[in-house]
């Protein structure tokens, strides 16, 4: 049985092996928050590797069973949390639903897709937390619909203070199975990055909201 630190580093290693982590300081990535960043973590590619997605699925399911034994449904954040969320819900034999960033403009006009009951405690699954903006919007939508949000689990967090503050403000407990520090430590150990690349990332981490602008 791996301990928590081993798990965060094992998942970081799997993401690195899948080439999910990209560095591009000269041509920054734009994040969903609008921030510019020299790094991008594309957890979606993990789905293309059965062993990796299974390890992630089992780790998330174990975490949910341990910390949220009473949840009655799993809810994915669209789109990154849909596939992994459905895999976890299947393993836990729980209902699954997902929440769109906005209501669908045709058809049923739904923002919550799937069936959830009022008052039902649910766990939200997100693939990645930067500012927490996308997933906390889902919390608002669920609460407005009368659903009880027991907490949120995510594969990866950058560990920014702004995200911690945003989760605190909404009174949502977040648990993650990997993070930026574990990623950098693992990337250095396995020579995916150099000390000088990590040093230039430190400058970005001091002020990620204004970096590159
Ligand atoms: O914590 P935040 O600042 O909200 O950023 C993280 C969000 O950004 C990504 O989604 P994206 O908007 O790229 O859409 P996708 O999930 O549909 O790919 C990711 O999947 C998270 O949902
Ligand atoms: O903040 C984001 O939009 C974001 C960052 C990142 O590293 N990966 C991702 O999928 N989204």
Atom of ligand 2 minimally distant from the CA of 158: 7
User: What tens digit of pLDDT does each residue of 17-37 get?
Assistant: 999 999 998 999 999 999 999
pLDDT tens, position by position, 43-69: 999 999 999 999 999 999 999 999 999
pLDDT at 131 (0 to 100)? 98
For ligand 1, atom 8, name the residue with the nearest CA. Answer: 32
Numbered residues of the known binding site: 100, 104, 106, 126-134
Can you list the positions of beta strands (E) in the chain? Answer: 21-23, 29-30, 36-37, 39-41, 73-77, 96-99, 112-113, 121-129, 148-157, 174-176
pLDDT of 5: 84
The pLDDT tens digits for 114-129 are 999 999 999 999 999 9
Summarize pLDDT for 76-127 with one digit per residue, the tens: 999 999 999 999 999 999 999 999 999 999 999 999 999 999 999 999 999 9
Q: Which two tokens stand for residue 5?
A: 């630190």
Residue 4 clears pLDDT 90, i.e. is over it: no
Q: Residue 132, preceding bond cis, omega within 30 degrees?
A: no
Please report, for the chain, how many H helices and E strands are present, in that order.
7, 10
Task: Choose which residue among 15, 41, 205 to substitute to test ligand 2 binding: the one with the highest number of ligand atoms within 8 A of its C-beta.
Answer: 41
Residue pLDDT, tens place only, 146-190: 999 999 999 999 999 999 999 999 999 999 999 999 999 999 999
Q: Ligand 2 pocket test: which of 32, 131, 163 has the largest number of ligand atoms within 8 Å of its C-beta?
A: 32
Helix H or strand E encompassing 178? none
CA distance to 28, 55, 174, 185, per residue, from 125 (Å): 27, 15, 10, 25
Q: In this predicted structure, what is the pLDDT of residue 68?
A: 97
What CATH number has the domain spanning 4-206?
Answer: 3.40.50.2020
What local confidence, expressed as pLDDT, does residue 108 receive? 96
Would you list which residues are annotated within the binding site for 5-phospho-alpha-D-ribose 1-diphosphate? 100, 104, 106, 126-134
Cα–Cα nearest to 188, from 37, 180, 4: 180
Determine the distance separating the centroid of ligand 1 and the alpha carbon of 34, expressed in angstroms. 11
| pLDDT at residue 2 tops 80 | no
pLDDT (mean) for 132-141: 98
Residue 9 has pLDDT above 90, yes or no: yes
11, two tokens: 């998942």
Predicted confidence at residue 1, as pLDDT, reads 55
User: Cβ < 6 Å from ligand 1: which residues?
Assistant: 32-33, 77-80, 126-134
């Amino acid at each position: 049985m791996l301990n928590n630190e081993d798990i965060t580093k094992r998942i970081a290693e799997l993401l690195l092996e899948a080439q999910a982590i990209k560095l591009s300081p000269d041509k920054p990535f734009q994040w969903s928050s609008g921030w510019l960043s020299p790094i991008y973590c594309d957890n979606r590619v993990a789905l293309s590797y059965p062993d990796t997605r299974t390890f992630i699925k089992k780790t998330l399911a174990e975490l949910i069973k341990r910390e949220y034994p009473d949840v009655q449904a799993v809810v994915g954040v669209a789109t990154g949390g849909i596939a992994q969320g459905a895999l976890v819900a299947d393993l836990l034999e729980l209902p699954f639903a997902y929440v769109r960033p906005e209501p669908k403009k045709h058809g049923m006009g739904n923002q919550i897709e799937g069936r959830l009951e009022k008052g039902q405690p649910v766990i939200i699954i997100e693939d990645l937390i930067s500012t927490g903006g996308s997933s906390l919007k889902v919390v608002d939508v669920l609460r407005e619909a009368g659903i009880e949000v027991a907490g949120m689990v995510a594969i990866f967090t950058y560990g920014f203070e702004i995200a911690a503050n945003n989760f605190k403000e909404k009174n949502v407990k977040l648990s993650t199975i990997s993070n930026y520090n574990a990623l950098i430590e693992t990337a250095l150990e396995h020579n995916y990055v150099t000390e000088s690349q990590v040093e230039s990332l430190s400058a970005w981490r001091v002020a990620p909201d204004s970096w590159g602008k």
